[in-house]
Structure 1
Amino acid sequence: MGETASRGTVLVTGGTGYLAGWLIVELLKSGYRVRATVRDTARAEPARRAILDRSAGARSLQLVQADLLDDEGWEPALDGVDAVLHTASPMPVGNEADLITTARDGTRRVLTTAARVGVRRVVFTSSGTAARSSNPSSTTTEDMWSEPSGDATHVYPDSKIYAERLAWELADELGLDLTAVLPSFMQGPPVGAPGRAGTIDVVRRLLDRAMPALPRLGWNVVDVRDEARLHVLALEQPAAIGERYNGSGTFLWYRDVARILREGLPEQKKIPARELPDFLVRLAARRDPHLAMIVDELGIVRTVDSSKARRQLGWTTRDAQTTILDTARALIAQERPPSTSSPRTP
């Protein structure tokens, strides 16, 4: 892409998303002009201000309206850009749409429009769940391709699997220069106000005292800021074209996350230490759709190999403790009521 002063324009889809916010910040700080798609430009204004506040004075950010379910808006959004980073994907919470259909149709809409207007370079945000062996003890590498479960409780990971498969098919058919990034379990502070759903709920629930005991669940924790950096590294390296990259970090049990919070934020009281028996988790999963999505992972340690990204792209990550504590501090700051005390005096 050349030196900072001559870097081009990048379209980021799903501009108000958790990862997309940090990705836009990373692009702006690296000297790119960014155009981001949102479903409602007026409602996205707070997100735009938060992104610019974190972007070291950069102002080259344009919000444009486009929806994964509608053809309108995508051609002007993609016209004149040098690359597209397709991060937009429907989330399972508060979404009544067919996730698989939306993810596939949205991917087709973005990539075919990109090819039609002459944009060849695409970085696609997949998911670590799209590269997984049926044997949990196997180390996950980018050579693995997950099979969709077909289970209604796993419709979100299935949507990511189907969407990535389609992206590679379209890249081959349309002559696109595609790279896929497969994030694992992202934590870290949101760019702006955190939403009420998402992966950082594992920390929020501990801070809110909503977890009296801890399920035997664990995740490969990676910082969302590092994941954003991986996308930009993948964009900038010609050798990344045609490749998949796992974006993974340290495996942490839920009890490890709780311990980090107890030790790093001792003022936060009543963060649990005891574990919840598996049979109780399975019972709760019958009523809790969040638990139903992950109950099959009870007691399982999955090892994800991200050495390819580190070796080929020079990717580095923060330590998991920093990531968890930064997540918690962001959530605490957001929930803290406005001060009613008297103004400070010198």
Structure 2
Amino acid sequence: MPSDPQVVVTGASGFVAKHTIAEFLRGGHSVRGTLRSMTKAEDVRRAVSRLGADPAKLTFIVADLVNDVGWEEAVGGAKAVVHTASPFPMTQPENPDDIIKPARDGTLRVLKAAANAAVPRVVLTSSTVAIFYPSDRPKGHVYSEDDFTDETRADLTPYFKSKTIAEKAAWDFARSREAPELVVINPSFIQGPAADGDLSTSHELYRILAKGTYPAAPSISFPVTDVRDVAAAHVAGAFQPGVAGRRYLVGEGRLSLFDLGQILARELPDLRSKVPKFELPDFAVRAIAVFDRKLRTVLPELGEKKAYSNARAKAELGLSLRSADEAVSAAVRSLRDLRLI
């Protein structure tokens, strides 16, 4: 690796971004983070320090994904740009374009700025939701980086569509002109320790469970990954030779929503009475989702237990992935340490 590369991480106040910044800093790299405003700069510095990294080599610049102002300055001189910023709402919007447009246009804005600034490589944070929903895979298919979600499917949520459309737009851009090398990281449901009280949507789920909001859980399960492993994947993707033009599915194991509640109860026994007591049948979940918009996010997962392979990420990025149980346990304990649940 270069001894002191200048790395740009977009959306520096985000969950994945904070851990990724800390991972770069621990490796001795200098980092420039983008923010929509400087009001969160000190919060990010404190979070990075809490994660065990020295923020002395961390600087910030204002650049908003909804307009072009500041982006070429933001990425200028960088050896790599890591684009983590993308909306992930707890409640799905009524108008899909409210989430699809900023995800796609923001990704292209960053790529164009990187191309104009002659940045050698861009690492894009995508998701396994851009892999797991093609239209023509047989039952029992083992999903991998060779699969792409069909964003035209009527049963997909706006978030699933946004991640797929944004990633496909990035690959089209990378093939269409003189562009930076592109590496895509496709993490599954991201768990692991929170860095501060500015919680991700995945962590907000535990606050909902801890309030006893859902006495029963939808019968859904999903692959899980630890944010610390996601951060390591981004760092490897930024500088490791031989990975350009590749995408990497990062996930380990599988847990159900009911399982998450059980781990919450195991780690924090005082909340045992709050977690879901049983799983709802699918027809009941579909009926309730008509009125509860938060549940619409999980509808594509009902009845699905997809097999998948993380072999490429382990072999090519050298990742040693934490278990799903460890990732969730760390998330729960961090929220208690922060006095948030």
Q: Same fold (TM over 0.5)?
A: yes
| Aligned position for 2:101 | 101
Deviations 1:167-218 (A, max 9, x none): 11211222321111101110112212143x5122333332222220121011
Aligned equivalents of 2:84, 2:15: Cα separation in 1:
10
Aligned equivalents of 1:159, 1:121: Cα separation in 2:
23
1:35 to partner: Cα distance? 0.3
Secondary structure class of the residue paired with 2:338: helix
Structural mapping, 1:210-289, within 5 Å: 210-270=213-273, 271-289=275-293
Aligned equivalents of 2:111, 2:149: Cα separation in 1:
22
Structural mapping, 1:1-346, within 5 Å: 1-2=1-2, 6-93=3-90, 98-132=98-132, 133-134=134-135, 135=137, 137-149=140-152, 151=154, 154-172=157-175, 173-195=177-199, 198-270=201-273, 271-335=275-339
| Aligned position for 1:344 | none
Secondary structure class of the residue paired with 1:47: helix
The answer (yes or no) to whether the contact 1:74–1:110 under 8 Å persists in 2 is: yes
Aligned equivalents of 1:55, 1:171: Cα separation in 2:
35
1:293 to partner: Cα distance? 2.0
Q: How many residues are treated as equivalent by the alignment? A: 333
| Aligned position for 1:343 | none
Deviations 1:277-309 (A, max 9, x none): 222211211122221122131131112211111
Aligned equivalents of 1:322, 1:297: Cα separation in 2:
23
Which one is further off, 229-238 or 28-37?
229-238
- Percent identity, please: 37
- AA at the equivalent of 1:14: G
1:58 to partner: Cα distance? 4.1
Deviations 1:3-28 (A, max 9, x none): xxx22010001111111110001011
Aligned equivalents of 1:92, 1:203: Cα separation in 2:
15
Aligned equivalents of 1:336, 1:185: Cα separation in 2:
20
Aligned equivalents of 1:56, 1:254: Cα separation in 2:
32
Which one is further off, 122-131 or 276-285?
276-285
Aligned equivalents of 2:126, 2:17: Cα separation in 1:
13
Secondary structure class of the residue paired with 1:186: strand
Secondary structure class of the residue paired with 1:122: strand
Q: Can you give the 5+ residue segments of structure 2 that lack an aligned partner in the other structure?
A: none
Query: Which of these two proteins has the greater Rg computed from alpha carbons?
Result: 1
- Give the superposed CA RMSD: 2.1
- AA at the equivalent of 1:25: A
Which one is further off, 173-182 or 238-247?
173-182
- AA at the equivalent of 1:51: V
- AA at the equivalent of 2:335: L
Which one is further off, 64-73 or 165-174?
165-174
Which one is further off, 177-186 or 262-271?
262-271
The answer (yes or no) to whether the contact 1:27–1:33 under 8 Å persists in 2 is: yes
Aligned equivalents of 2:159, 2:14: Cα separation in 1:
16
Normalising to structure 1: TM-score of the pair?
Answer: 0.90
Secondary structure class of the residue paired with 1:16: coil
Normalising to structure 2: TM-score of the pair?
Answer: 0.91
- AA at the equivalent of 2:54: G
Aligned equivalents of 2:335, 2:221: Cα separation in 1:
21
The answer (yes or no) to whether the contact 1:251–1:303 under 8 Å persists in 2 is: no
Aligned equivalents of 1:93, 1:273: Cα separation in 2:
22
The answer (yes or no) to whether the contact 2:30–2:57 under 8 Å persists in 1 is: yes
1:233 to partner: Cα distance? 1.4
Deviations 1:249-272 (A, max 9, x none): 111112222222333332333133
Aligned equivalents of 2:247, 2:157: Cα separation in 1:
22
- AA at the equivalent of 1:98: D
1:91 to partner: Cα distance? 2.9
Aligned equivalents of 1:208, 1:329: Cα separation in 2:
16
